[in-house]
Amino acid sequence: MSYLLQRGQLSGTVCCALESIISILRIYFLLKRHLDEYDADYQSVRNKLGNFGLEGYAHEIPIKDLSGGQKARVVFAALYFMRPHVLFLDEPTNHLDIESIEALILAINEFTGGVVCITHDSRLIQEAQLEMWVVEDNNCYEYDGTYETYKSKILKCIEEYGSHHNKEN
C-alpha cells in the first residue's frame, strides 16, 4: 500500500532525485525482506524518471531545488518501483503540468491494483477509469452516473438553494 501526500513529501532533503529513489527503494525492500525483488538500478530509475516527465538534467538536482511538480514526478517513479497493491492519492494533480496529469491518468488506467483518489480535478475524474464515490451528509456512497450528471445535479441544488434563499430575503 502506498500513500501520496498532498505536499511536503520530499521537502528538506538534500540528495538528488536519483539518489532519493534508490535510497527509498533500498530501505523499502530491506524492510519487506524482499531484496530479491529489488530491481531498481541506476539506469532503470533514470528511465522511469524520464517516463514520468522529469527531464534528464533534473535527475541530479537536489530535491529541495525541484519544483512541486518535479517532486511529484520523483514520488510517482518511487511508487512505481514499490509495486503497491493499493494507492491512496490525495489531490495528486496539485503542482502538476498538463503533460504530467496526462501521464498520471495513463498510469492510473494501467495500474492493476486498487486506487483511492481524492480529487477536485474534473479532468482526472472524467478520464481516469475510476468509480466515483460521494461523501455528503455524514454518508459515503458510490455514485451511479457520470461526472457530468453529478455536476449537473450539484449545480441544480445550488441554483435551487439560491432561489429559495433569495425568496426568504
Q: Tell me the average pLDDT of the chain.
A: 77
Quickly tell me which residue has 498538463 as its cell.
Answer: 98
Fold of 2-130: Rossmann fold (3.40.50)
Mean pLDDT check: name the lowest of 2-16, 17-31, 123-137, 140-154: 2-16
**Model confidence at 13, in pLDDT bands (50, 70, 90)?**
very low
DSSP state letters, 91-139 = STTTT--HHHHHHHHHHHHH--SEEEEE---HHHHHHS----EEEETTE
Please write the tens of the pLDDT for every residue from 42-60.
777 788 888 888 888 888 8
pLDDT at residue 164 in the model:
74
